[in-house]
A and B are shown apart, each in its own frame.
Chain A
């Protein structure tokens, strides 16, 4: 079984977020399907895939079955959190090799921190 990732929490929040108004706005604004592969330590190893479907407004675990995602990203757990929280600029992250991208460039460019809801702190 795959290990638990910190990103699980974020994805779960995202999932819930999709049913809110703000989440629905996202589907209107972006309308793309992203697949995100997250590895615990090193990109490509032991990856867990998530599909952030901003067309239907869903977040699911596993690879995208209904065709090809508009863009596919690969991150490590920590890096994904950094990008999603805005700590790391996705473009700079790419230059550093922290993100691997496949797919459409315009889709990839729309993958920004503001898509993701932010976690609150107790």
Chain B
């Protein structure tokens, strides 16, 4: 809930009379990022990390802008009535050069409970603390008091009113505290009764000598539905004009002259109090952030506050549906205004190192909303101010190559004199010279994206931030772990910094360039960073929603020209026969739309997909709830199965598809069903579920040295034995042998499978799909040369057999003949550009063949270029 407050301005600290619906978080972000020249320095410092060799200086440099980043706040800071938390105040009072010490000092008294925190057991500790902290400067007292209020939520012990020394709170402060604490209380004690909430709040307020008048209690319950509404509206953005107008008009009420970005921060300050956020959200600190105190990441207090917000954001994201997030990817006017200001500010910076940092350029561009993520692609949003350096960059790198791509490129050889355990992220860490600046960068980006409502990208950066923290952990961190293992003297941050100071940091941007130019190690197709993350998010959401039923949900193509024609089935059959698979799919879709109970229509649709190599890709189906994608073979087949559960061809096709996906149990189920429903063989198959049967003949598996679930094994054997019996019953029945072959593929008894297919091929030599099955079996048992011959037979019979073309590519690639494999992949893709697997394999082959020049074409799925470059010989 608090998240909504943040963005929709519901946090009740609005000064009466002023608009409370501006984006307070945006203002915070601006406060930290966009305001002064100090911030520019700060930003500048991030990519270039100039001059200094030790971390101490780095921090000192950061310490300064921190003060300035909240213009007008210094005074408020020193104001004894400021509702600031302990560590913020403590930080400021510390000598900047002892920043890290200050941090530690502040951390220790402040949050001792985190160290051992497991739950409510810390309450006694806090109460003890309560007593001893009630002396000292007023702001310290206040903040401790507030903290203990926050933490009283952990236990069931109600918060006790305490007699505090006079704190000298102003009316505004009091109001602020009252309102905010009420809301906080609702969050904290959401699972408790209203009574309890009121009691707690009253206790707090009376201790502080604040009137708890109706004003505080009354409007709040009413407020929430409004907030919900506002939030929902802004989330969905469907009434985009409505939402955006709302924002824009609110915005324009607060519109400040462009040349005074400080105004933002000031107005924010006015409304919400200096650094109020930190104390509010400390409560929400997730466990892994707690490691911060042990980690070697040194950040300042505002960043800490942001981290806390970030934690809340993460939490919120887990709850929010990806759907909504997608919707909020549309930039709203107000946010764009703000970002333009930022970009303008950045553009003022004439430092060429800064300007040339492609890293910053792209990220800024993205944060300006000029690039959005749609359909898993980076797309420019079509707005570019003339003379805009970011736009120029975009033009130069029209593939939307993200900094993340650069980020994930490998260095040609390891620059680490110590072969420290690591991943690419660590390798890139040296770019930043310390966990700290890396963290800072990510956090900064996160804030900017949050401000601009680009939540998906913000999520990426929030995860990065957390990852950084995790990785930087002291005793649990990887670096330490590795150091211990290898007896090296720890990769302390200082040592890293020392090492990196040996790098010529002036060439930072050059180094990036170089990495871009170097080959990609393992970068798969279309996978710039955010896209992959996108997929991940979608998968996670979809996984939760996935069930067998949903796997069978078919999504039809739009704009189907065959809809409305008199006999789409006939047309579909004709097209299928001719080998125009994609067209056949459309016609058959029209058919099943017209006659949903036409099993033949579904069956053929499924087969058409399978032959088009549109076979079930797990991730595509997982994305189905979110995108309208074409149906896949399995989905169509399952629909057919639904319509007619006894249709043997459907059952076989489903068995094959699941075998391809290595889904043993499902495949077995369908193949067994085939047997059960076959008029001739149903008597062989016992009517009850065979899973309880057990066969002891496991010898064939022992030489593979693999453990197998005994029951599954038994089941498989039993089914195989049944098929064998069936085959003996009618040796002329090719189908039985086909099913047997598929079965043996499942159990990886490839020789038997090959035998079975060859038998059936004698009976059905013109069955192209059979040749493909044979070939695939041979290929999977690494008899690639034979496989290619089989595929060739299949293609002779059916030249448009996409699957066979793709399989050819695979077989060549597996033999190391990458150039050839590329041709076959391209050929397959030309026939069916939607065969995602083939795109991925193509990219791998391109990489192996050192054809990195073609990566872009591959990533952008540009078949024209690829076909020109790799024609079939």
CB neighbors of A among B619-670 (8 A): 619, 656, 659-664
Across the interface, which residues of A come within 8 angstroms of B422, CB to CB?
A: 105, 108
| Proximity bits, A62-104, B CB within 8 Å = 1, else 0 | 1000000000000000100110011111111011110001111
Contact present for A20 and B615 (CB under 8 Å): no
A85 to B843, CA, bound (A): 11
Contact A88 B745 (CB under 8 A): no
CB nearest to B540 among chain A residues = A96
- In the complex, whether A27 has a CB less than 8 A from a CB of chain B is no
Nearest A residue (CB) for B663: A6
Task: Verify B662–A81 contact, CB threshold 8 A.
Answer: yes
* Contact among A60, A88, A102, A117 with B524 in the assembled complex (CB-CB below 8 Å): A88
Contact of A92 with B773 at beta-carbon distance under 8 Å, contacts A108-B423, A114-B847 already known: no
Taking a contact as CB atoms under 8 Å apart, the answer to whether B704 and A12 are in contact is: yes
Q: Are B841 and A102 in contact (CB under 8 A)?
A: no
User: B19-27, B277-285, B809-817: which one contacts chain A?
Assistant: B809-817
Instruction: Indicate the member of B424, B426, B464, B482 with the most A CB atoms within 10 Å.
Output: B424
Specify which chain A residues have a CB less than 8 angstroms from the CB of B813 in the assembled complex: 118
Q: Which residues of A are found within 8 Å of B421, using beta-carbon distances? A: 101-105
Q: Do B414 and A106 touch (CB < 8 A)?
A: yes
A92 nearest CB across to chain B (Å) = 4
Nearest CB on A from B551, distance (A): 15
Tell which of B333-341, B527-535, B600-608 binds the partner: B527-535
Complex contact B424–A91 (CB within 8 A): yes
Residues of B within 8 A of A88 (CB): 524, 527, 532
Indicate if the CB atoms of A117 and B782 lie closer than 8 Å: yes
- Residue pair A78, B618 in contact (C-beta under 8 Å): yes
Pick the contact of A113: B522, B533, B707 (CB < 8 A). B522
**Given known A114-B844, A122-B742, contact A105–B427 (CB-CB < 8 A):** yes
| Contact residues in A for B814 (Cβ distance below 8 Å) | 17, 20, 22, 117-118
Q: Choose from A1, A16, A89, A121 the contact partner of B522 (Cβ within 8 Å).
A: A89
* Chain B residues in 8 Å Cβ range of A48: 707
Task: Given A85-B840, A120-B776, answer yes or no on A105-B419 (Cβ-Cβ < 8 Å).
Answer: yes
Q: Do A120 and B748 touch across chains, with their CB atoms under 8 A apart?
A: no
* Contact A105–B423 (Cβ < 8 Å): yes
Contact code string A15-55 (vs B, CB < 8 Å = 1, else 0): 01101111001000000000000000000000010000000
A1 x B710 contact (CB < 8 A): yes
Residue of B nearest to A101 (CB): B423
The answer to whether A89 and B524 have CB atoms under 8 Å apart is: yes
Q: Mark B300-334, 1 if CB is under 8 A from A, else 0.
A: 00000000000000000000000000000000000
For B523, list chain A residues within 8 Å (CB). Answer: 89, 91
- With a cutoff of 8 Å between Cβ atoms, the chain A residues found around residue B481 in the complex are 102
Closest A residue, CB atoms, query B787? A120
* Nearest-CB residue, chain B, relative to A93: B532
CB pair B712–A4 under 8 Å, yes or no, is: yes
CA distance A13 to B787 in the complex (A): 14
B491 to A: closest C-beta gap in Å: 11
Question: A22: which B residues are within 8 A, CB to CB?
Answer: 814-816
B416 interface contact, C-beta 8 A = yes
From B618, B662, B847, give the contact of A9 (CB < 8 A).
B662
Cα of A95 to Cα of B461 in the assembled complex, Å: 11
Task: For chain B, give the interface size range.
Answer: 35 or more
Q: Please pick, from A82, A89, A113, A119, the residue contacting B408 in the complex, using a CB distance under 8 A.
A: A89
Query: For residue B423, which residue of chain A has the nearest CB?
Result: A94
Which one of A9, A19, A86, A91 lies within 8 Å of B748 (CB-CB)? Answer: A9
CA distance A42 to B382 in the complex (A): 43
A1 and B423 in contact, given A22-B814, A78-B618, A114-B844 (Cβ under 8 angstroms)? no
A17 to B: closest C-beta gap in Å: 5
B703-725 CB contacts (< 8 Å) to partner A = 704-710, 712
In the bound complex, what is the Cα–Cα distance between A19 and B782 (angstroms)? 9
Whether B841 contacts A86 by the Cβ 8 Å rule is yes
Nearest-Cβ distance from residue B486 to partner chain A, whole angstroms:
9
- Residues from 749 to 795 in B contacting A, C-beta threshold 8 Å: 772-773, 775-777, 779-782, 784, 787
Decide if B414 touches A13 in the complex (CB within 8 Å): no
* Closest A residue by C-beta to B746: A9
Which single residue of chain B is at the shortest CB-CB distance from A117? Answer: B814
Cα A103 to Cα B427 in complex, Å, equals: 14
Q: Does B463 contact A (CB under 8 A)?
A: yes
Nearest B-chain residue to A96, judged by Cβ: B536
Q: Which residues of A contact B408 (CB under 8 A)?
A: 89, 91-92
- Measured between beta carbons, the chain A residues less than 8 angstroms from B854 are none
At the interface, yes or no: B52 with Cβ under 8 Å from chain A? no
CB distance from B61 to the nearest CB of A (A): 28
**Cα distance, A63 to B529, chains bound together (Å):** 33
Cα distance, A117 to B782, chains bound together (Å):
9
Question: How far is A48 from B707 in the complex, measured between Cα atoms in Å?
Answer: 9
Tell which of B423, B525, B841, B844 touches A91, judged by Cβ atoms closer than 8 Å: B423
Q: A94-B424, A109-B424, A118-B813 are in contact. Are A86 and B410 (CB under 8 A)?
A: no
Residues of B674-713 at the interface with A, using a CB-CB cut-off of 8 Å, are 704-710, 712
Chain B nearest CB from A19 CB (Å) reads 8
Q: Does B420 contact A (CB under 8 A)?
A: yes
Interface members, chain B 404-420 (any A CB < 8 Å): 408, 410, 414, 416, 419-420
Which residues from B are CB-within-8-Å of A9?
Answer: 662, 748, 780
Q: Does any Cβ of A come within 8 Å of B15's Cβ?
A: no
Q: B848 near A: Cβ within 8 Å?
A: yes
| Contact yes or no, A106 B419, CB < 8 A | yes
Q: Given A21-B815, A78-B618, A86-B843, is A95 in contact with B425 using a C-beta cutoff of 8 Å?
A: yes
| Beyond A21-B816, A104-B421, 6 extra complex contacts between A and B, CB < 8 Å | A16-B782, A86-B525, A88-B527, A114-B847, A119-B780, A122-B742
Residue contacts A-B, CB under 8 angstroms, 29 given: A8-B706, A8-B748, A9-B748, A12-B704, A12-B706, A12-B748, A17-B814, A20-B814, A22-B816, A86-B844, A87-B524, A88-B532, A89-B523, A89-B527, A92-B408, A92-B529, A92-B533, A96-B533, A105-B414, A105-B427, A108-B423, A111-B522, A112-B521, A113-B524, A113-B844, A114-B844, A119-B662, A121-B803, A121-B806
**9 nearest CB pairs, A to B:** A112-B522, A6-B662, A22-B816, A105-B422, A120-B779, A16-B782, A120-B776, A86-B840, A122-B773
